[in-house]
């Protein structure tokens, strides 16, 4: 039985399983999300990201294992716990003929410690749409409304399930700014995404979920020993470009510097990208 430290850990999961008829969606996941961190769950479609998150949100029953979210078993989620948790679901909210302002003001009433609705609308970048009926909003604007509803109660912990799917690059960048702001304000964020750049930019730590198993957890820079092994040194020789795979790139560069007696032409030292590491992992996991 793990000892749960609800002071330092926002989420603690041990041996989490979820079985549906004939298939296993989550297969023995252990996970800790620290208070105040942004944690990204990466994984291909069907890897169990949403199932895992929805168990932690108190929407689904687990088959077995332990889960503690803000010191409470999410299966027993009550209104007091829901006061402290913000949820942005994978599906976009539809509020048809109500205006942005009406929806956010209405949801604010559910929370004891709600933020100022107009300020939240401003923060998610919908200020000029506040009087618009929600059915006319673009996909990206609807998603911002989802986020507004997720943060209106000033949650300690915010779940974001694939928040930027369908965004154009500019909208995504603005959205990242918003998430960074929230994180800087101390909100713990559990994010699922299949965009590697999103995980790399936002997350303090990344977990890779493949076939219901968590195959790696680390900082984006160190995931899969990205920072320590397998660098590639490249340069130009009179016969054309050359490359060398090495675990000791500094030594290779020193040798080259000596060889060329100064600047090495077209010198590059590259580590595998997060994408390389990720693709290797999901390839290995399947």
**Interacting residue ranges for another protein, rule: CB under 8 A:** 57-61, 79-80, 82-83, 85, 87, 89, 91, 93-98, 102, 106-107, 109-112, 133, 149, 153
Q: Are the C-beta atoms of 249 and 257 separated by less than 8 Å?
A: no
| CA gap 272, 228 in Å, rounded | 10
Q: How far is the CB of 178 from another protein (least distance, A)?
A: 20
Q: Which residue has the tokens 């964020």?
A: 189
Q: How far is the CB of 275 from another protein (least distance, A)?
A: 31
Q: How far is the CB of 150 from another protein (least distance, A)?
A: 9
Q: How far is the CB of 246 from another protein (least distance, A)?
A: 50
**Residue nearer to another protein on the CB measure, 13 or 89:** 89
Q: How far is the CB of 90 from another protein (least distance, A)?
A: 9
Q: How far is the CB of 35 from another protein (least distance, A)?
A: 21
**Residue nearer to another protein on the CB measure, 115 or 174:** 115
**Residue nearer to another protein on the CB measure, 25 or 264:** 25
Q: Which residue has the tokens 């401003």?
A: 122
**Residue nearer to another protein on the CB measure, 38 or 53:** 53
**Residue nearer to another protein on the CB measure, 45 or 283:** 45
Any bridge partners for residue 268, and if so which? 234
172-178-183-186 Cα dihedral, nearest 10 degrees: -160
Q: How far is the CB of 12 from another protein (least distance, A)?
A: 21
**Residue nearer to another protein on the CB measure, 99 or 232:** 99
**Residue nearer to another protein on the CB measure, 57 or 162:** 57
- Residue 169 token pair: 């690059």
| CA gap 116, 154 in Å, rounded | 10
Q: How far is the CB of 83 from another protein (least distance, A)?
A: 5
**Residue nearer to another protein on the CB measure, 45 or 109:** 109
- Residue 10 token pair: 């926002």
């Amino acid at each position: 039985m793990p000892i749960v430290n609800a002071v330092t850990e926002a989420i603690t999961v041990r041996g989490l399983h979820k079985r549906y008829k004939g298939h296993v969606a989550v297969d023995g996941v252990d996970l800790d999300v620290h208070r105040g961190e942004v944690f990204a769950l990466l994984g291909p479609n069907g890897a169990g990201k949403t199932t895992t998150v929805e168990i932690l949100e108190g929407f689904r029953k687990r088959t077995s294992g332990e889960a503690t979210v803000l010191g409470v078993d999410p299966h027993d989620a009550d209104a007091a716990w829901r006061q402290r948790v913000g949820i942005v679901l994978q599906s976009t909210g539809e509020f048809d003929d109500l205006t942005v302002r009406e929806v956010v003001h209405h949801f604010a009433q559910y929370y004891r410690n709600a933020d100022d609705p107009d300020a939240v609308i401003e923060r998610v970048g919908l200020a000029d749409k506040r009087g618009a009926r929600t059915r006319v909003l673009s996909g990206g604007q609807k998603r911002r409304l989802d986020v507004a509803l997720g943060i209106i109660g000033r949650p300690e912990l915010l779940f974001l399930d694939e928040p930027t799917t369908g965004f154009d690059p500019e909208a995504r960048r603005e959205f990242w700014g918003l998430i960074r702001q929230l994180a800087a304000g101390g909100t713990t964020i559990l994010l699922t995404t299949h965009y590697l750049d999103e995980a790399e930019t936002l997350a303090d730590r990344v977990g890779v979920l493949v076939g219901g198993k968590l195959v790696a957890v680390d900082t984006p820079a160190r995931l899969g020993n990205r920072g320590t092994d397998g660098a590639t040194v490249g340069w130009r020789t009179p016969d054309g470009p050359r490359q060398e795979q090495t675990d000791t790139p500094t030594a290779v560069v020193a040798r080259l510097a000596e060889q060329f007696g100064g600047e090495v032409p077209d010198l590059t030292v590259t580590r595998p990208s997060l994408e390389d590491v990720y693709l290797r992992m999901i390839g290995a996991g399947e």
